[in-house]
Amino acid sequence: MRVVVGEDEALLRQGLTHVLEHAGYDVVGTAADASELLRHTAERAPDLVVTDIRMPPSHTDEGLVAALEIHRTRPETAIVLLSQHVQRRYATELLGERPARIGYLLKQRIADIPTFCADLERVCAGGTVLDPEVVALMLTRARRDDRALGGLTPRQSEVLALMAEGRTNAAIARRLTITEKAVVGHASHIYEVLGLPPSEDDHRRVLAVLRHLAR
Amino acid sequence: MTAPREARSPLGAALGLIGAVALVLGVAPVVQALTGGATPGWPPVLMTALGWVYTAAGLVAWSRRPTNRLGLIMVVGGFTLLASNLGQTHDAVLVALAAVLATVPLAVVVHLLHAFPSGRLTTVASVAVVVTGYLVCTVLQAPLFLFAAPPGPGRLLALAARPDLVRTGEAAQTAAGCAVLLATAGTLVGRARRATPAQRRVLGPLYAYGILAVPLIPLLANLRGRLGWLTPGTVGTLQLVVLAGIPVAFAFAVLRGGFARTGEIEELGAWLGTSSGARPALAVALARALGDDSLRLMFWVAERGEYVDASGRRVELPAAGSGRAAVEVELSGRRVGAIAYDSSLIADPKDVVVAGRVVAIAIDRERLTAELLTSKEAVKNSRARIVEAGDRERRRIARNLHDGLQVRLVLLAMEAQLVAKEADASPATQGAATALRIGIDEAAAELRALVHAVMPAALVERGLSAATEDLVDRVPLPTSLELGVTDGTLPPAVEGTAYFVVAEAIANALKHAGADELAVRLALVDGCLHIEVRDDGSGGASPLAGTGLRGLADRVDTLGGRFRIHSPAGAGTRIIAELPCE
């Protein structure tokens, strides 16, 4: 897997490169600003781009703007955005066009290296990954406006949150120490409550949940 | 009869009315003279013209110098002339009136001479001479209209034909008239001597003309018999020309800016005396008195060592060679201001100095107002700078934490995790290292909350509407959001203030109001940002209750905005702020 890293903080750029190489990724380029990131991506055709949202020179959302452009022009490239702070609006923008091969995580999540690497793999495999904090924001908002969500049991709410984070049924079962069958049971109840059409495809169902929450 | 009143200039309307009456009075005898009778047609026309000249000159002087009575005296003179011309009509009453008033215009000229330049009689002697003048022209005129002809139809005042009495009367009137003129001449020579050379240049010709004109008029009539070439027509014309020159000369002298010091100072004195509500601005009064519309007042702010204008803005003294000059005004030895004027209009700075002395107290009072405005402006600017500095500091702190501590915590947690995953680490070490990593992650979460409170990332990265949306996303209650602003279009100070108003208002509602629902609204109306945060809670919020709302009210005020709280007990709370965005 070829990776381009975008991060303006040199220490963190090195740390991230180290973690990625340790996990078996081939870091083919590192960028300290958004234009460099776009250039490296265009020249080196990576399978994955991991980038900070806030970058020089304006230190606003340049990384996000660059990521959205890569997402549009190179649909086969997986993208994971990192930020010191997450907000629902960015998640909505990222998931808006084509919710695949996209991840949005707090920078602090890098430290939990095994989980972080698993998230990268899911994104590279065509999935979506959202930070639990963003999912929590989406659920808070959805619960305010959608009474049906209030009817979920605490366990079903947990399953919904993990589904929205982009986790597979197996991962959810592991996390909640329940059987995968129980997860499927909770999931179908959740689809019913949200009025989503049943589907055999795990990924599609996750997308449907995300669309529902992000609207 | 009421004069048509214009709200803007009642004086102008009244003067217009006087002018109209004079026009009518003048036209009647002309029409009469031209249409009937054997009398020559043109003397009444000239008399009417003369009356109009007096009236017109008087009205001009009156309107330009409303507190100067010379204009009034000239108008009275004009009316006596027009009235004496009514002898041309066939109405017995009017003819009688004309006969009585026949020589009064001469007394008016004497009055003008004594009253110049202010229009007021300033000494007892002047009053005595002027009153005598009027008596000479009315009482001593009596023999002429009482005994000139036997009583008859159309001759109301005629008692008998007594040429002897007429001659005696004429002699007495001439003698008394000469005495009045001599007394007048004496008074005026004294005045001219006391005047400054500049004033004397105007006073001299004016006084000389007036004193010579009065005796010349009857004298011309007497000379007619002795000098053969003087026809009655020539005499009449000469008399009229001499008389007509008088009001024109006086009006010109009154209006001429910068010489009639006494008159102007009386103008200013009258201005000081008017009630402050009806008083025009000091600068306008000075400009009018000195005849320079471009005149400006400057006020001295001693502690800053600079001049300011009436609104408190800093101004400079006119530079040399700029065509403008300035005179400093002092009050009890202390500089209070300066009068800047057009040096081509006012040649002698002494006039400005004297005028400044008269209104020094008023200038000092306006100076205090200007100084207050200056310091108010300074306080407002310094408050704005404090708010801006505060926001800059918040941004700097947030940025430093973002680039520094937050990055360090990610790296530290990463290292702890690497230790935990080392192949040769004992299970106890692995457990401890993982716990350390989780602890660091928790600290990072607290730091995130802190950075968010200091200066939220959404505000830095996007702007007000993104930040407000993020804020509302985190509210656990149903909250409606109406966003009418585009990010990146508002000044940073406005965005920051608006954000903290919304944040504090939401925090307040969640903490104290016990509300079930919230509504947040941002709208841009005519370049002004309207912010409204509403809840359906218990109400009773007061800006004085917490430092949060109090501080926000101050912040909004600093930006020139308005901050209001509607919070009746039991009926919810509305916090409204309006911020100008220019």
The pLDDT mean for chain A works out to 88
Closest residue in A to B445 (Cα–Cα): A108
The pair phi, psi for residue B442, each rounded to 5°, is -65, -40
State the Cα–Cα distance between residues A68 and A102, nearest whole angstrom.
10
User: Which residue in this structure is represented by tokens 């702890």?
Assistant: B416
- Residue B276 amino acid letter: S
State the Cα–Cα distance between residues B55 and B66, nearest whole angstrom.
15
State the Cα–Cα distance between residues B565 and B88, nearest whole angstrom.
81
Q: Count of alpha carbons within 13 Å of B57, Cβ hemisphere only?
A: 26
User: Residue A130 pairs with which residues in a beta bridge?
Assistant: A104
Question: Which of B410, B462, B477 lies closest to A111 in CB terms?
Answer: B410
The CB density around residue B395, as the number of other CB atoms within 10 Å, is 16
Report residue A205 as tokens.
């169902």
The sheet with strand B518-525 has its strands ordered as B479-484, B518-525, B528-535, B573-580, B562-566
Task: Express each pLDDT in A106-124 by its tens digit.
Answer: 999 999 999 999 999 999 9
**Start-end of H helices in chain A:** 10-22, 34-44, 62-73, 88-96, 113-124, 132-145, 147-150, 154-164, 169-176, 180-194, 202-214
State the Cα–Cα distance between residues B540 and B545, nearest whole angstrom.
10
Closest residue in A to B407 (Cα–Cα): A12
Q: What integer pLDDT is reported at residue B413 of this predicted model?
A: 94
The pair phi, psi for residue B315, each rounded to 5°, is -135, 160
- Which residues of A lie closer than 8 Å to B, measured between beta carbons? 9, 11-12, 15, 19, 53-54, 59-61, 83-85, 87-89, 106-108, 110-114, 137, 140-141, 144-145
pLDDT at B224 over 80: no
For chain A, what is the largest distance between any 2 Cα atoms, rounded to a whole number of angstroms? 51
The pair phi, psi for residue B579, each rounded to 5°, is -125, 120
Q: What integer pLDDT is reported at residue B2 of this predicted model?
A: 41
Mean pLDDT of B177-184: 85
The CB density around residue B232, as the number of other CB atoms within 10 Å, is 11
Tell which residue, A202, A166, A201, A200, has the closest CA to residue A78: A166
Question: Which of B417, B421, B458 lies closest to A87 in CB terms?
Answer: B458
CB spacing of B476 vs A144 below 8 angstroms: yes
User: Residue A23 pairs with which residues in a beta bridge?
Assistant: none
The CB density around residue B110, as the number of other CB atoms within 10 Å, is 25
Q: What integer pLDDT is reported at residue B262 of this predicted model?
A: 46
State the Cα–Cα distance between residues B563 and B500, nearest whole angstrom.
13
**What ipTM is given for this predicted complex?**
0.88
State the Cα–Cα distance between residues B457 and B462, nearest whole angstrom.
8
Least confident of A38-52, B67-81, B145-159, B468-482: B145-159
Alpha-carbon distance B462 to nearest alpha carbon in chain A (angstroms) = 7
User: 3-class secondary structure for B187-233?
Assistant: HHHHHHHHCCHHHHHHHHHHHHHHHHHHHHHHHHHHHCCCCCCCCHH
Contact between A11 and A19 (Cβ < 8 Å) = no
How many cross-chain Cβ pairs, A to B, lie less than 8 Å apart? 92
Instruction: Kindly list the residues from chain A whose CB atom is less than 8 angstroms away from the CB atom of residue B458.
Output: 85, 87, 89
User: Residue B480 pairs with which residues in a beta bridge?
Assistant: B519
Contact between B465 and B524 (Cβ < 8 Å) = no
Contact between B558 and B572 (Cβ < 8 Å) = no
Alpha carbon distances (Å) from A189 to A161, A197, A201, B254 = 14, 11, 16, 102
Least confident of B36-50, B77-91, B297-311: B36-50
Contact between A5 and A27 (Cβ < 8 Å) = yes
CB spacing of A11 vs B407 below 8 angstroms: yes
Question: Which of B421, B457, B474 lies closest to A84 in CB terms?
Answer: B457
Higher pLDDT, A103 or B27: A103
Closest residue in A to B480 (Cα–Cα): A145
Higher pLDDT, B273 or B506: B506
Angle at B496 between CA B494 and CA B497, to 5 degrees: 65
State the Cα–Cα distance between residues B439 and B457, nearest whole angstrom.
24
Contact between B336 and B299 (Cβ < 8 Å) = yes
Higher pLDDT, B279 or B445: B445
Alpha-carbon distance B520 to nearest alpha carbon in chain A (angstroms) = 15
Mean pLDDT of B359-386: 84
State the Cα–Cα distance between residues B561 and B553, nearest whole angstrom.
9
CB spacing of A15 vs B451 below 8 angstroms: no
In angstroms, how far is CA B111 from the centroid of its own chain? Answer: 34
CB spacing of B461 vs A9 below 8 angstroms: no
pLDDT at B46 over 50: yes
Higher pLDDT, B542 or B7: B542
Task: Express each pLDDT in A166-181 by its tens digit.
Answer: 888 888 899 899 998 9
Closest residue in A to B442 (Cα–Cα): A108
Q: What integer pLDDT is reported at residue A14 of this predicted model?
A: 94
Please indicate if any CB of chain A lies within 8 Å of the CB of B448.
Answer: yes
Band of pLDDT at residue B259, cut at 50, 70 and 90: very low
User: Residue B191 pairs with which residues in a beta bridge?
Assistant: none
Q: What integer pLDDT is reported at residue A200 of this predicted model?
A: 65
**Residues with Cβ within 8 Å of residue B571, at least 6 apart in sequence:** B539
Band of pLDDT at residue B199, cut at 50, 70 and 90: low
Contact between A4 and A29 (Cβ < 8 Å) = yes
Alpha-carbon distance A201 to nearest alpha carbon in chain B (angstroms) = 30
Please indicate if any CB of chain A lies within 8 Å of the CB of B399.
Answer: yes
Q: For testing the chain B interface, which of A9, A14, A52, A85 should be mutated: the one with the most B CBs within 10 Å?
A: A85
Q: For testing the chain A interface, which of B397, B407, B410, B417 should be mutated: the one with the most A CBs within 10 Å?
A: B410
In angstroms, how far is CA A143 from the centroid of its own chain? Answer: 21
Q: Is B291 helix (H, G, I), strand (E, B) or coil?
A: coil
Mean pLDDT of B374-395: 85
Angle between helix B104-115 and B232-255 (nearest 10): 30
Task: Express each pLDDT in A121-176 by its tens digit.
Answer: 999 998 889 999 999 888 888 877 776 777 788 888 888 889 888 888 888 899 89
pLDDT at B77 over 80: yes
User: Which residue in this structure is represented by tokens 């899911």?
Assistant: A122
Q: What integer pLDDT is reported at residue B260 of this predicted model?
A: 44
Please indicate if any CB of chain A lies within 8 Å of the CB of B410.
Answer: yes
Question: Which of A84, A110, A140 lies closest to B448 in CB terms?
Answer: A84
Q: For testing the chain A interface, which of B411, B422, B506 should be mutated: the one with the most A CBs within 10 Å?
A: B411
State the Cα–Cα distance between residues A46 and A3, nearest whole angstrom.
5
Q: What integer pLDDT is reported at residue B481 of this predicted model?
A: 92
Task: Express each pLDDT in B517-533 by its tens digit.
Answer: 999 999 999 889 999 99
- Residue A61 amino acid letter: D
- Residue B581 amino acid letter: C
Closest residue in B to A214 (Cα–Cα): B473
Instruction: Kindly list the residues from chain B whose CB atom is less than 8 angstroms away from the CB atom of residue A145.
Output: 478
pLDDT at B268 over 90: no
Contact between B317 and B373 (Cβ < 8 Å) = no
CB spacing of B457 vs A54 below 8 angstroms: yes
CB spacing of A60 vs B462 below 8 angstroms: yes
